[in-house]
Amino acid sequence: MKSIFIYETKIGRIAIAEENNAITEVLFYNEEKEINCQKNLKETHLIKEGYNQIQEYLSGKRKIFNLPLALKGTEFQLKVWNALKTIPYGETRSYKDIAILINREKAARAVGMANNRNPISIIIPCHRVIGSNGKLVGYGGGLNIKEYLLKLETSLH
């Protein structure tokens, strides 16, 4: 059974979900219109560990997450999300860079759509993907949070 718990962080409220001993979602609470918390609201050990690791990341004490993840998506989305995990802390890549990395050079727009559907924000660092012109574009938590996370990483890199 899926469990979910909501936490307050310095970047706003986040919801962390777990199912079958793996993190399935890290969402900015305001991005999800209907999180059915009433019947699934439960802080499990793994959800709490996910929260602790995110707090360590936000305070500059953690650069790499060590949590079991369970991703559900299309084959293309899974390739994109796995590619995102290879972007080093403190660095960015463009959507085109990710498209090339997954051998789909002309699929930068599709990479953007997959990036937008990343279910495990922060831990799978979709915030590290920027436009080819170097501009910040799109982020589920808002561009101000994307900018905050990138500045956090570059200041500690």
pLDDT tens per residue, range 69-87: 999 999 999 999 999 999 9
- Whether 139 and 86 map to the same domain: the answer is yes
Q: What's phi and psi for 22, nearest 5 deg?
A: -145, 145
The number of domains in the chain is 2
At residue 13, the 3 state secondary structure works out as strand
Strand partners, 129: 93
Query: What is the predicted pLDDT for the residue at 155?
Result: 87
Nearest to 105 by CA among 92, 96, 116: 96
Query: What is the predicted pLDDT for the residue at 32?
Result: 47
Query: What is the predicted pLDDT for the residue at 157?
Result: 63
Range(s) of the domain holding residue 98: 75-156
Q: At what angle do helices 108-116 and 75-84 cross, to 10 degrees?
A: 80
Identify the DSSP state of 150.
H
- Whether 84 and 151 map to the same domain: the answer is yes
- Whether 81 and 148 map to the same domain: the answer is yes
Q: What is the CATH number of the domain that holds 27?
A: 3.30.160
DSSP structure string for 102-121: TT-TT-HHHHHHHHHT-SBT
All residues at 6 or more sequence positions from 71 whose CB lies less than 8 Å from its CB, including other chains? 24, 77, 78, 81, 119, 120, 124
CA 103 from centre of chain: 22
In a domain, 108, yes or no: yes
Nearest to 81 by CA among 126, 26, 142: 126
Q: Would you write out the chain's pLDDT as a tens digit for each of its 157 residues?
A: 889 999 999 999 999 999 999 999 999 876 444 555 555 789 999 999 999 999 999 999 999 999 999 999 999 999 999 999 999 999 999 999 999 999 999 999 999 999 999 999 999 999 999 988 777 877 777 788 899 999 999 987 6
Nearest to 81 by CA among 90, 72, 89: 72
Q: What is the CATH number of the domain that holds 152?
A: 1.10.10.10
List the catalytic residues.
126
